[in-house]
Amino acid sequence: MELYNRRQVLTGISAGLAVAGVAATMPAGSASAAAAALVKDNNAVKESSLKDSATAASFDGTAEPVVAYIRDASSGEISLFVGSREVTLHDSGIAAKLASAASKGA
């Protein structure tokens, strides 16, 4: 497992990658959280929301999909699955934004 900070994830690592899916689970009590999936084609949350919080240039690649998994948004830990790798990002801001978006998309 690789550990990266927010800047590395938004620039170096994600360059050349397309975010095809972001799966998020929420803390207990958030009824909609377990099934929340921010996938392009379900309109739960538009990709532009992610671009707002990151940078548009970060997600313009096409090589491999990325799946994000947030086990507990309050911890700020986000697991990114890409190819045969897992990248762990610690960013409570992004985690909270995704959790919030997931709740709205329910």
Partner 1 sequence: MSSHREAPEISKDPVADSADLYAFVSPDRPDHVTIIANYVPLQGPDGGPNFYEFGDDVLYQIRVDNTGDGNADVTFNFSFRSELTIPSSFLYNDGPIESFNSPSWNRRQFYSVSMTSGGKTTKLGTNLACPPCNIGPLSTPDYPKLASEAVYSLGSGRKVFAGQRADGFYVDLGAIFDLGDLRPLANLHATFGLPKLAAAKGVNSTRYLNVHSIAIQVPITDLTKGGVHPKGALDPAATIGVWTTASRHKARVWDNANQSYTDSGPWVQISRLGNPLINEVVIPLGSKDRWNRSAPAGDSGFAANYENPELSNLLPILYPGAFPNLAAYNATKAPRADIVAILLTGIPTGVVSPGFQNYTGKVQADQLRLNVAIPPASKPSPLGVVGGDVAGFPNGRRVFDDVVTIELRALAGATLPLVDKSFKADGAVSAVTDGLDGSNEAYLSVFPYLGVPTSGYEVRVA
What sign results for the dihedral spanned by CA atoms 56, 58, 63, 68? negative
The pattern of x and - marking residues 56 through 95 that bind partner 1 according to CB under 8 A reads: --------xxxx-x---------x-xxxxxx---------
Least Å from the CB of residue 15 to partner 1: 17
Contact between 4 and partner 1 per CB under 8 A = no
What sign results for the dihedral spanned by CA atoms 73, 55, 81, 23? positive
The tally of CA atoms less than 13 A away on the side-chain side of residue 21 is 11
Least Å from the CB of residue 82 to partner 1: 6
